[in-house]
């Protein structure tokens, strides 16, 4: 499968390639380029240069990396890239590699620089136009470039980096030892823009409206007059994908919302209101709560729950889809980070995530992946531009198996109702405290045990509810959120006061690792 999305190669946009040398910075660089309104793609350093050039890049950026250019297995790029005529910007390891490959020297000084470092300009440069003579930049390097290659000039220095920036203006080859892509380099984005606009002549036209326009054309070209199905979950990705496809092909799209009965309070209704009401999309809401409860009857083990839910989901979806004549395509909400990571992912499987990925193989549908070129923040921007409500565009992630994996123990209608009510209070109070967007997820968990309490003069014997709130960038790791005590106090008194059957509230103070975000 192509590593790029539907907008790759669209002549409406200039392309910047970010060559990944194995640091965590390549994605960040690619996002910063997009924030400068220029389309970027991440490519592995092992990609042959001819293949890179076939993508007709306007610029190539070499990312940082964890290695030294002096070690044997140091990742490199074919030096012919420097003679291709395409401007190159090396960042950190990328700058050292550029210097090393073109005959400069990179020294093991024994004195690395980490963190905020003063940078002093030595010569005028397009990169630093209108910048002060000294500024703080973010450094993270051990080796340092000692001498520039022939014909290059050093344009900036730092205390332990005599060549902190260098260039060959005529050949349009640039290197910076510091990280312009991180926020700690306050003027870093300006430096990137000078490279993109002034050195490379990139047009800043990658905007939410142009993304939508180009996506609409790509979808129309792919679909023609055929019918398209979309499994809508109510989450950000499938919602934006559905709205985008609908804009492109209107009534050729049918959305199927499998109502598992395992969703949060009011969610199914909101999906109906938005997609059928506001967008007038052909939406089928398959109310299958009873079937899911039946499949989950007395199932306790988390992976068994996921299996039961996944299988039921597919069955319900297939039944509904069978009523849609001649469907040929299925919309999938794959994002660009999924595309980048699927090539390299070797992480152990902790949980078998249920999503709709299993559908097309069995149903013989071709995939449409309208978000395959986009980062999450771009998906949100597109969603806003398409007029999706804020509650959907900014919705926190929610697991496909829903509340079933937040009830520790068997899933029953009573427990579902109780958890849904407690969860609604958590979300309402977190929103009221202005914390909803800054938390990756915040929700209630129901361990199906009973604890003793006292209310009035009565002994109670009822469920505890656990509040879980985490901050995270990508769900791979997460930190438990330091919720303010007064918020916790409100949550505790409201949940116990308003949700019958609960007599205790606890707060989960486990990060990931060692915990996972969900309890199951």
Distances (CA, A) of 240 to 165, 331, 448: 41, 11, 36
* Alpha carbon distance 146, 461 (integer Å): 72
* Cα torsion 478, 482, 487, 493: sign: positive
- Other CB atoms closer than 10 Å to residue 203's CB: what's the count? 14
Binding site for ligand XMP (CB under 6 A): 306, 350-351, 353-355, 397, 399-401, 441, 475, 512, 516-518
Instruction: Supply 367's token pair.
Output: 């995939």
CA distance 466 to 460: 18
| Shortest separation between residue 255's beta carbon and ligand XMP, angstroms | 18
Nearer to ligand XMP, 277 or 397 (CB): 397
Q: Least Å distance between CB 357 and ligand XMP?
A: 10
CB of 508 to ligand XMP, least distance (A): 12
Between 35 and 508, whose beta carbon lies closer to ligand XMP?
508
Least CB distance to ligand XMP at residue 271 (A): 16
β pairing state of 153-158 and 161-168: antiparallel
Specify whether the CB–CB gap between 295 and 309 falls below 8 A.
yes
**Among the options 113, 181, 369, 378, which is catalytic?**
181
Q: Other C-beta atoms within 10 Å of 240: how many?
A: 27
Our answer to whether residue 113 is catalytic in this structure is no
Residue 80 bears catalytic tag: no
- Two tokens, residue 227: 């019918």
Helix (H, G, I), strand (E, B) or coil at 51: helix
Among the options 45, 168, 179, 354, which is catalytic? 179
Question: Residue 325 or residue 473: which is nearer to ligand XMP going by CB?
Answer: 473
Q: Which has the closest alpha carbon to 24: 128, 132, 179?
A: 179
- Residue 185 is given by DSSP the state S
Q: How far, in Å, are 90, 150, 218 from residue 32 at the CA level?
A: 15, 31, 25
Looking at the Cβ atoms of 352 and 493, the one nearer to ligand XMP is 352
Least distance between ligand XMP and beta carbon 153 (Å): 49
**Closest separation between CB of residue 429 and ligand XMP, Å?**
20
Instruction: Report, in Å, the least distance between residue 390 CB and ligand XMP.
Output: 20
Q: Which is nearer to ligand XMP, 284 or 475 (CB)?
A: 475
- Of 274 and 441, the one with the shorter C-beta distance to ligand XMP is 441
Cα–Cα separations (whole angstroms), residue 156 to 166, 170, 176, 328: 7, 18, 9, 57
6/401 with CB nearer ligand XMP: 401
The rounded distance, in Å, linking the Cα atoms of 199 and 86 is 10
In sequence order, which ranges of 395-474 are alpha helices (DSSP H)?
413-432
* 173 beta partners: 88, 168
C-alpha triplet 67, 71, 75: angle, nearest 5°: 55
Tell me if residue 92 is catalytic.
Answer: yes
> How far apart are alpha carbons 295 and 297 in whole angstroms?
6
Q: Annotated catalytic sites, by residue?
A: 92, 179, 181
């Amino acid at each position: 499968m192509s590593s790029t999305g539907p907008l790759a190669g669209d002549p409406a946009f200039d392309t910047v390639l970010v060559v990944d040398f194995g640091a965590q910075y390549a994605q960040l660089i690619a996002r910063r380029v997009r924030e400068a309104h220029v389309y970027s793609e991440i490519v592995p350093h092992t990609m042959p240069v001819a293949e890179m050039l076939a993508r007709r890049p306007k610029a190539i950026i070499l990312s940082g990396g964890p290695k030294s250019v002096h070690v044997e297995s140091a990742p490199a790029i074919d030096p012919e890239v420097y003679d291709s005529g395409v401007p190159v910007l090396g960042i950190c390891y990328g700058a050292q590699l550029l210097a090393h490959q073109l005959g400069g020297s990179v020294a093991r000084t024994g004195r690395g620089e980490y963190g905020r470092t003063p940078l002093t300009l030595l010569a005028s440069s397009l990169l630093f136009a209108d910048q002060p003579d000294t500024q703080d930049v973010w450094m993270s390097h051990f080796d340092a470039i000692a001498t520039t290659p022939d014909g290059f000039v050093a344009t900036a220095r730092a205390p332990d980096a005599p060549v902190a920036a260098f260039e060959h203006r005529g050949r349009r080859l640039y290197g910076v030892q510091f990280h312009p892509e991180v926020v700690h380099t306050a003027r870093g984005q300006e430096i990137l823009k000078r490279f993109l606009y002034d050195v490379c002549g990139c047009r800043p036209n990658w905007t939410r409206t142009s993304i939508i326009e180009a996506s609409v054309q790509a979808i129309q070209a792919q679909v023609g007059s055929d019918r398209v199905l979309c499994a809508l979950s109510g989450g950000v990705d499938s919602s934006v994908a559905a709205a985008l496809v609908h804009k492109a092909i209107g009534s050729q799209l049918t959305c199927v919302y499998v109502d598992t009965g395992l969703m949060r309070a009011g969610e199914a209704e909101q999906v109906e209101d938005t997609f059928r009401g506001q967008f007038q999309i052909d939406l089928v809401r398959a109310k299958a709560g009873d079937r899911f409860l039946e499949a989950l009857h007395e199932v306790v083990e988390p992976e068994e729950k996921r299996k039961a839910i996944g299988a039921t989901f597919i069955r319900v979806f297939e039944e509904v889809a069978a009523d849609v004549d001649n469907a040929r395509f299925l919309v999938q909400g794959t994002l660009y980070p999924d595309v980048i990571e699927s090539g390299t992912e070797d992480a152990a499987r902790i949980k078998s995530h249920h999503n709709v990925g299993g559908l097309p193989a069995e149903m013989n549908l071709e995939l449409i992946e309208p978000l395959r070129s986009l980062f999450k923040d771009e998906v949100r921007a597109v969603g806003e531009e398409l007029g999706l409500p804020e509650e959907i565009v900014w919705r926190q992630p929610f697991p496909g198996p829903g509340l079933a994996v937040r009830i520790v123990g068997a899933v029953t209608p009573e427990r579902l109702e109780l958890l849904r009510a407690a969860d609604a209070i958590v979300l309402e109070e977190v929103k009221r405290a202005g914390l909803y967007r800054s938390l990756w997820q915040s929700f209630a968990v129901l361990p199906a045990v009973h604890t003793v309490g006292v209310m009035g003069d009565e002994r109670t014997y009822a469920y505890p509810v656990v509040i879980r709130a985490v901050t995270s960038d990508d769900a791979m790791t997460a930190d438990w959120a330091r919720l303010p005590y007064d918020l916790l106090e409100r949550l505790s008194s409201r949940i116990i006061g308003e949700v019958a059957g609960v007599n205790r509230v606890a707060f989960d103070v486990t990060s990931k690792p060692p915990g996972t975000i969900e309890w199951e």
